[in-house]
Structure 1
Amino acid sequence: MASEKEMTGAAAGREWGPLAWGLAVVALSGLLFGLTAARDIVVGDNAEFMVAAARLSNAHPPGYPLLTLLAHLFSRIPAGPLPFRMNVLAVACNTAAVGLVYLTSLHLTRRPAASAIAAALLAFSPLFWGWALVLETFPLNNLLAAALIYLLVRWHGSPRRTWLLVAVAFIGGLALANQQTVLLLGPAVLWLLWRQRAALLARPVVLALCAGAACLGLLPYVYLPWAANHHPVSGWAPLSSLADFWNYVTRKAYGTWQLIPASEQGGSRWHLLRASLTSFSHVEGTFAILGAIQAYRRLRWYFWFAALAFIATGPLFAVMSRVDLSLLDARWFLSRFFLLAHVSVAPLMALGILSIAEAITGIVQRGRAQVAGVAVLVASLGLAVFQIVSTYGSVDQSGNHVARNYAEDVLISAPPRSLLLVWRDYNSAPLEYLQEVEHQRSDVTVIDEGRLPSDPYVRYVRAQHPDVVLPLGYDGKSVTLKSIVDANPGRLIAEIGPLRDDSLDNGYTFFTVGMANRVLRTGSQVDAAAYAQENERLFRLLRPPSRGEIKAETAEGVILQVYSRQFCNVAQALDSAGQHEQADQWFRRSAAVDAGFSVARPECAERSSR
């Protein structure tokens, strides 16, 4: 018979076991996320969010107030460069989300090892890990969604513990103050509420408390009008009325129910559906499917919860987005929205691991059943380790300076006191960060073509740069880019494509100098020798990334093409001026930067081979 001391030790082991597994997976996740986190600005909305957080201004609609406030707090950490300090917020959020997925899995399975392995498989999947490294709205969304699901699952098992449901409502409000796609979890949440409707109807005060908690969670939105009027750095709407506030929060300027502009829509529904499914690794998908089968057999309420959450946040969202996946960085742009689906179904993987263990132990001899179960867990852990090894290099952002180098190359190419016309986030966001936060090249006035239709933005630029004439009412037809250039005849104008409209084709021509294109009157004379000399000088300063440095599926692939395009433009200009030897050198440079893009420009591909 076991002694009292032995029984106490066994009980302590059972008590500390779940905690040890949980701490291990959280610590490992945090360590690897921290090692691979970006130390600098990167492509996407990252730089824009950093500007908003550093200056306590507003980001693009719907404003992302919770993210901005938290990132500002992280910016105050007294260690490391500013971009890294704010990127650490993403590390913290995804690490905490991994811990909450572990707790949810543990609550459902009561198996610490399987739960920890499931959390690790989520943590080190390429999609989840990749977005744990940069300041964006998605890591915070992962954390809040994981917290909401954990609390909701616990409440479903103990509906009398009303504080859990009130906490769910509060977390839901906070989530809406960050990323509104959390509403896609609505059908799954309503399913569990319906199952416990008797308990809710018996205590209607609980619903009132939940409504109050949700409103409390929305309080970060109060920050938006304050920031718009005190720190209008980005020139978004002034939010001087309730109508302004509502239009801003509901993304009216973009289309409330549209993810992207109409010009970038048109994707095949089948391709979009497939994109949502293939965002899962083979390991994730296999264990999640097996877990869904297990849940249907033993935890049917959770099966339907997970199924509704997955369908709404994955396939349904993908089809409704209508993103044209043929665009270079469209798949990368869309994939980050699938993180919510990954977090929603991650606990199913724990059930999947257990189902395999149970199936194998049911086959082998009774004496070896325990050994077989352990073997399944070890094999699953091995898959997680393999996933870490195979993913580390592809997601590592610690040495990524592509966005910074590109923006600095554009700025050193811009003429003194020039107007610089830019469009697309990969152009505007890094430039905005360098100017607004680091105060680089303040003599250059950057005009974001994407915001020109917004009169508040135009007024903001006018206020910041009284010497710039910028007309209101840009529509690409009656008021165009040509209208802006015509209104500033004494100012040097440059652009870095693409252009939002083609009005400058009439009466103007472009001469590429480094990473900026000078806008000159048609017929303007350019000294060929001076042109070649200036481009050679800039070439020695430019830092085009190598193909191996970039993540080609992201907007970094577009940046690589821009370098190649600019070099090809210089080559063509020199060739037209009779500088054939120098032109051939620039053609070769264009192909060396991005041979794939030169193929799309036959004149570059042909000359670069000479």
Structure 2
Amino acid sequence: VAHPPGYPLFTLLAKVATALPGGSPAFRVNLLCGLVGAAAASLLFCTVFSQLFSCCQQKGQLGTLDNEIIVMFWKWHLTLLMALSFFGSQGVYPGALVGSNCEFLFSLFPSQISRLGAFCCGLSLCNQHTIVLYVACVVPWVLSWLFRKRELSLGHLLKLGLCFLAGLLPYLYLPASSYLNRARWTWGDQTTFQGFLTHFLREEYGTFNLAKSETGSSMGEMLLFQLAQMKSELSLPVLALALVACVSTALLKKQKKSPVIWLFTGMLCLYSLFFAWRANLDITKPLFLGVVERFWLQSSAVVAVLAGLGLATLASLGRSTVLEGTWLLPCLEWLPALALVASQVWANYSTCDQSNNYVVDKFARNVLSSMPTGAVILLRGDLPGNALRYLHYCEGMRPDITLVDQEMMTYEWYLPKLAKHLPGVYFPGNRWNPVEGVLPDGTLAFNLHRFLKVNKHKEVFVCIGLHEGDSTWRRSHSLWPWGTCEKLVPSGAVFDPGEWIRLTRNLYNWTEDYGSFSPSSWEAVANEEMWQARMKTAFFIFDLAETASVTAEMKSQLYTFAYTSYKEIVNSHPHHPVNWHKNYAIACERMLRLGRGDPETLLSETVKHFLLYTQKAEDDPQRQDILQAVQHLRGELQGLRRRKAE
């Protein structure tokens, strides 16, 4: 079962896709996402082409204009390993709702179409819960139309309800899967009605929240970002055409398509306002913005249809002028649509071409390959959690290791459901809690100290970071760097800096250039983690020299190891994270204090890298202090050179 609210429709479709031959499981599900994306564009195409207009040429051009939205959909349909999820089918259900509403309005058999629409409403809720906002607009609109036409009877209302419930049938997968309990990773316990409701309503997150315990941007800021995203993805002319459709409907009262336009506009406004209110992520952070903008696909689908209507309105105005009957009019109808499509392809092709994107896959393979035999990895966060679990469970990589999710261990359902799928790992209770013992609900809780004590026979690693709420591990263990991860080592173990540098120097084979991915992508996160991993051992040794209670000789050795490691890393990679400059400069300054190495070289390196850091890290609150220190060090360097010259 996927994370709340379960996404059963996508899960079932993905299961079918993985049964097909050829390629990895991720490739097959990505192929499914691509096909569904094409279906979404086709539905929107047909909505404009077949339902809203009577002129063949005009229908063709509007369908072409509508088809340009596939560029935006494609970006999120081929999201590779990390974001491979329900977003791949998120565009098709707004398209189905839009199309069924148009068919309903113009059909000779509206009762039959209304039943199809009710089924689509239920089915769409099996894929993404936010589409309930569209359903909340569609249902009263259809019922009121049927009532005015005297076609709404108790029997028909019952049929509509049954069709809606039929659309929700995929949700039966949740209790069935939970009852069988065969999955090696799942979320929640849906064997009880309360457990099902908890998952269905996303109570562990907050029903319409995007994250737990996060503070989001303001509603106004969210709407401005959405408008900017639409302008970027759909282009300004498309937004202008959508506005033309709305304005023309308000001014021209007797248009047959006016009710549908008002419905679409209401759906767009309700969705955008409600989502801006409830999306509790700080979109000033690029990664969070990347998460939020996926949910804007549904509103962008409606904007694309409205843009098609706007272009049709402008074309109809041309038909009432002297251009009617001339060859110029068809050209003027086709040119805007073709120009918009061409501009979208030109602007977005490189973004959509993900044929060589294996960054997250390589990240996970490097991390798994670096682990010793039989290791236990305590996972934290989406990147290591999803990427490592995929390779381990779906492709069978490193079956000897065990993956345990830190956050999931804090839920009451995790260990009762999944402990049997984690062989060789002992859990001294039913739930992880900083305060061990019997909780008020009768659950036996254990802390990390107890967990490590009963699993002495295993090498335990954490990736990435440990849960801040439980520091009991400090009683008996220390964290030593191991690439992007850390190893939990018994406190009595003796740290050999030279040996540890040797062990961790070439853990990974990482060849991606630094800063080569969009900051809002998971590829950027994976790349950043891999680059920072190169310096973690040097940083750890330097911090040990700063804080550990050791002899002066040992402290000097630690500083020397850190400096040597920093120097090797910085000189090996001309383009690297900006904090490397600062760390290396501080290491040079410490070596200068110790009197080790050539003073002129150390001073020169300190000044050089502090200046490089201040040039690139303009938002560092210590920037002015660093610049003042640089001025002092420059004076020292000049004095040293004068003395040498004399």
TM superposition score category, shorter chain reference: 0.7 to 0.9
Find out whether 1:278 has 2:222 as its counterpart. Answer: no
Q: Give the equivalent residue in structure 2 for 1:108.
A: 52
In structure 2, the partner of 1:380 is 337
Take 2:351 and 2:423, find their aligned partners in 1: how far apart are those partners?
Answer: 46
Aligned equivalent of 1:175, options 124, 128, 133:
124
Tell me, what secondary structure is at the counterpart of 1:455?
Answer: coil
8 Å CA contact retained: 1:323, 1:330: yes
Determine if contact 2:462/2:487 at 8 Å carries over to the other structure.
yes
Q: Distance in 2 between matches of 1:581 and 1:79?
A: 48
Q: 1:222 maps to what in 2?
A: 172
Distance 1:596 1:460, change over 3 A: farther
C-alpha deviations, 1:86-117, integer Å up to 9, x for none? Answer: 11111111111111111211211332223222
- For 1:581 and 1:258, the matched residues in 2 are separated by 47
Unmatched 5+ residue regions in structure 1? 1-57
1:109-148 aligned at under 5 Å gives the runs 109-110=53-54, 111-124=58-71, 126=72, 128-134=73-79, 135-148=84-97
Aligned CA distance change for structure 1 residues 161 and 566 (closer, same or farther; 3 Å): same
**Which structure 2 residues correspond to residues 28-39 of structure 1 after superposition, within 5 A?**
none
What is aligned with 2:198? 247
The code of the aligned residue for 1:535 comes to T
TM-score (norm 2): 0.78
**DSSP-derived class of the 2:533 partner:** helix
For 2:621, the equivalent position in structure 1 comes to none
Give the SS at the match of 1:196: helix
Question: Secondary structure of 2:95's match?
Answer: helix
What is the CA–CA distance in structure 1 between the aligned matches of 2:260 and 2:44, rounded to whole Å? Answer: 14
Structure 1 Cα separation of the partners of residues 25 and 152 of structure 2? 52
Shift of 1:381: 0.5
Q: Does the 8 Å CA contact 2:379/2:406 hold for their aligned counterparts?
A: yes
1:207 maps onto 2:157 in alignment:
yes
**1:290 maps to 2:259:** no
**Alpha carbons 1:591, 1:605 under 8 Å: kept:** no
Greater CA drift, 299-308 or 548-557: 548-557
Among 503, 506, 516, the residue aligned to 2:474? 506
Q: Distance in 2 between matches of 1:327 and 1:590?
A: 27
> Separation in 2 of the partners of 1:192 and 1:202?
10
Deviation at residue 338 of structure 1 after TM alignment: 0.9
C-alpha deviation, 1:318, in angstroms: 2.0
Residue 408 (structure 2) aligns with: 451
Alignment map for 1:403-414 (pairs within 5 Å): 403-414=360-371
For the pair 1:354 / 2:308, whether they are aligned, the reply is no
> C-alpha deviations, 1:44-103, integer Å up to 9, x for none?
xxxxxxxxxxxxxx2122222111111122222223333211111111111111111112
C-alpha RMSD over aligned residues: 2.7
Alignment of 1:10-409 (within 5 A): 58-106=1-49, 107-110=51-54, 111-124=58-71, 126=72, 128-134=73-79, 135-158=84-107, 160-189=109-138, 190-199=140-149, 202-230=152-180, 231-262=182-213, 264-280=214-230, 281=234, 282-296=236-250, 297=252, 298=255, 299-358=257-316, 365-366=322-323, 370-409=327-366
Question: Residue 469 of structure 1 aligns to which amino acid in structure 2?
Answer: Y
- Is contact 1:295–1:348 with CA below 8 Å preserved after alignment? no
Q: More deviation in 192-201 or 71-80?
A: 192-201
How many pairs align? 544
Q: Tell me the secondary structure at the aligned position of residue 403 of structure 1.
A: helix
- The Cα of 1:494 is off from its aligned counterpart by 1.2
| Distance change >3 Å, CA 506–CA 79, structure 1 → 2 | closer
Secondary structure class of the residue paired with 1:509: strand
Runs of 4+ with >6 A deviation: 605-609
Closer/same/farther in 2, CA of residues 371 and 456 from structure 1, 3 Å limit: same
Whether the aligned pair in 2 keeps the contact of 1:564 and 1:591 (CA below 8 Å) is no
Change (3 A) 1:245 1:589: farther
Residue 6 of structure 1 is matched in structure 2 by none
Deviations 1:440-473 (A, max 9, x none): 1222221111211223322344313343233433
The residue number in structure 1 matching 2:522 is: 555
Separation in structure 1 between the aligned mates of residue 492 and residue 333 of structure 2, nearest angstrom: 75
| Partner of residue 18, structure 1 | none
* Contact 1:273–1:319 (Cα < 8 Å) also in 2: no
Shift of residue 547, structure 1, vs aligned partner:
4.1
Task: Verify: 1:520 aligned to 2:489, yes or no.
Answer: yes
1:552: Cα distance to partner? 2.5
Gaps of 5+ in 2: 437-445, 546-557, 588-604, 610-646
In the other structure, the counterpart of 2:641 is none
What per-residue deviation string (whole Å, max 9, x for no partner) do you get for residues 19-46 of structure 1? xxxxxxxxxxxxxxxxxxxxxxxxxxxx
Amino acid across the alignment from 1:585:
E
Distance 1:226 1:144 in 2: 25
- Change in Cα spacing, 1:605 to 1:394, as seen in structure 2 (3 Å) is farther
Separation (CA, whole Å) in 2 of partners of 1:596 and 1:433: 32
In structure 2, relative to structure 1, the CA distance for the partners of 1:69 and 1:251 (3 Å cut) is same
Whole-angstrom distance in 1 between the partners of 2:269 and 2:580: 41
Q: Which moved more, 1:385-394 or 1:465-474?
A: 465-474
For 1:163 and 1:590, how far apart are their aligned partners in 2? 66
Query: Which letter does structure 2 place at the counterpart of 1:108?
Result: L
Find the structure with the greater CA-based Rg: 2
